[in-house]
Homo-oligomer: A and B are copies of this chain.
Amino acid sequence: MNYSVIVEVTLRPGIADPEGATIERALPTLGFSGVSLVRAGKLFRFSIDADSPENALATAQSLAERLLSNPVIEDAVARLDEGR
């Protein structure tokens, strides 16, 4: 069966995030106040053919840690996309 999976890759706490910092600095000029702690990350969606949701998630987590993220500076979390 095919399972739809989402992987979120975010920078670990404490790692500098120049993209997030740039967005945060630009916001007040663009009319948005009160926004802080902006962090930018990556999102991957894919479909996995597996025999159970647990196996799909395990494959996705392994793939996320080994290929989609840099474990030195990033955290990767896989979850099933319940929406579809």
Binding site for B on A (CB under 8 A): 2, 8-10, 20, 23-24, 26-27, 30, 32-50, 59, 63, 66-68
Contact = CB atoms under 8 A, between A and B. Distances in A.
A41 B46 contact: no
Nearest to A67: B30
Contacts of A49: 33-36
Secondary structure type dominating chain A contacts: strand
B43 A40 contact: yes
How many protomers of this protein does the assembly include?
Answer: 2
A10 B38 CA distance: 18
Given A32-B63, A67-B23, A44 B38 contact: yes
A47 B37 contact: yes
